[in-house]
Amino acid sequence: MSEGTVKKFMFVNRKAPYGTIYALESLEVVLITAAFDQDVSLVFMDDGVFQLKKGQQTKGIENKNFSPTYRALDGYDIEKLYVEEEALAARGLTEDDLLVDVTVMPRAELGKLMDEMDVVLSF
Amino acid sequence: MSSIEVNGKSYETDEEGYLVNLADWNEDVGNYLAKTESVEMTDQHWEVINFLRDYYNEFQIAPAVRVLTKAIGKKLGPEKGTSQYLYALFPYGPAKQACKIAGLPKPTGCV
Amino acid sequence: MLHIVNKSSLERNALESCLHVAQDGAAILLIEDAVYAATRGNAASNHLRDALSRFKVYALAPDLEARGMGDRVLEGVSTVDYGGFVDLVTEHKNCQSWL
């Protein structure tokens, strides 16, 4: 891998976990990107905040429960997780409902952060 | 779909020989899969295999090599947390070979 | 930066979220079903009209025409063809698609 070409990547997650494939696809791309030593941030906005809800049990819908994988991100050196404050509030959630440590931020702040990125991947 | 037979029981595998159902795995199956990879299993090998299975149970993924190396170093001691150590045990790649023997799917982003 | 929206704002919240997050001076391109928001009389166009002072808003002409809405584009919205779409992407440092 070539040295010195670290880019700022942001993954924007806006979909709930099981209704569509977006959340799982995003997570897989994040894990692959981690192998290339880039500066990776994850943002959870709108229904995307549901991806991080504690206590997911998917046996009944016969889907793979991929929520434990968010806990593995730390081991992949992906530590920048941002969650939209307004989205949590609109869904009756607080930081305590989330299965990983995150930074909660108003959406306008997230917009500023997004502007600074080299690459934005949208899910 | 392919399959393997161990102790008279048939287990489904994918075309690369990875077990399809994680729950099918037991030590005999592990030993069989090791033989197909020409890996002679020792306590050191089992230590890695058990680590991988624990990791998968906790996080629902097989770790990338870099992540595995770091995590093994933390859990089993720094002298084991090197790619040299893991490649000595699993010459064709710890992710690929050890995951197969552990009955896990091929790791995401396996390079 | 460039924001792209492709869902009707009467069906999804994509445009609304985009307008909340986009920073002043950003470009917003409406394509596919999102172009309805840029047409006169659409309930969502009020939001968009308020946003015109803060953002540059574009709508993809072929998508407007395909939907029979080419003749009622909101004042202040610029229409672009596919070439203009490509220009917008290349002119901006990065791009978020509000899927």
Average pLDDT (C20-42) is: 97
Catalytic residue among B10, B28, B36, B110: B110
Give the pairing type, strands B2-6 and B9-13: antiparallel
A17-30 burial, b if ≥16 CB within 10 A, otherwise e?
A: bbeeebbbebbbbb
Nearest to B64 among A35, A69, A71 (CB): A35
Instruction: Say yes or no for a CB contact (<8 Å) between A120 and C94.
Output: yes
SS3 C3: strand
Report the complex ipTM: 0.89
Which residues of A lie closer than 8 Å to C, measured between beta carbons?
A: 12, 14-15, 22, 45-46, 86, 107-108, 110-112, 114-115, 117-120, 122-123
Strands across the sheet containing C78-80: C78-80, C56-60, C27-30, C2-5, C95-98
Distances (CA, A) of B14 to A44, B4, B23, B60: 34, 10, 15, 19
Give the homologous superfamily in CATH for domain C2-98.
DsrEFH-like (3.40.1260.10)
What is the per-residue pLDDT for B111?
45
Residue of A24, A57, A69 for testing the chain B interface, max B β-carbons within 10 Å? A69
**What are the sequence ranges of the domains in chain B?**
2-101
Nearest to A35 among B60, B61, B109 (CB): B109
Give the pairing type, strands A80-84 and A103-105: parallel
pLDDT in tens, A43-54: 999 999 999 999
Cross-strand pairs, A9: A40, A119
On whether any CB of chain A is under 8 Å from the CB of C23, the answer is yes
pLDDT in tens, C48-87: 999 999 999 999 999 999 999 999 999 999 999 999 999 9
Q: How many Å separate Cα C15 from the centre of its chain?
A: 8
A59-96 burial, b if ≥16 CB within 10 A, otherwise e?
A: eeeeeeebbebbebbebbebebbbbbbbbbeeeebeee
**What are the sequence ranges of the domains in chain C?**
2-98
Catalytic status, residue B99: no
Angle in degrees, CA A30, A35, A39, rounded to 5: 65
Under-50 pLDDT residues of chain A: 1
> Chain B partners of A66 at a C-beta cutoff of 8 Å?
60
In order of their start, the domains of chain A are 8-122 (3.40.1260.10)
Residue C76 CB coordination number (10 Å): 13
Instruction: Say yes or no for a CB contact (<8 Å) between C20 and A15.
Output: no
The CATH number fitting domain B2-101, selected from 3.30.70.260, 2.60.40.10, 1.10.569.10, 1.10.10.370: 1.10.10.370
Instruction: Indicate the pLDDT class of residue B39, thresholds 50, 70 and 90.
Output: very high
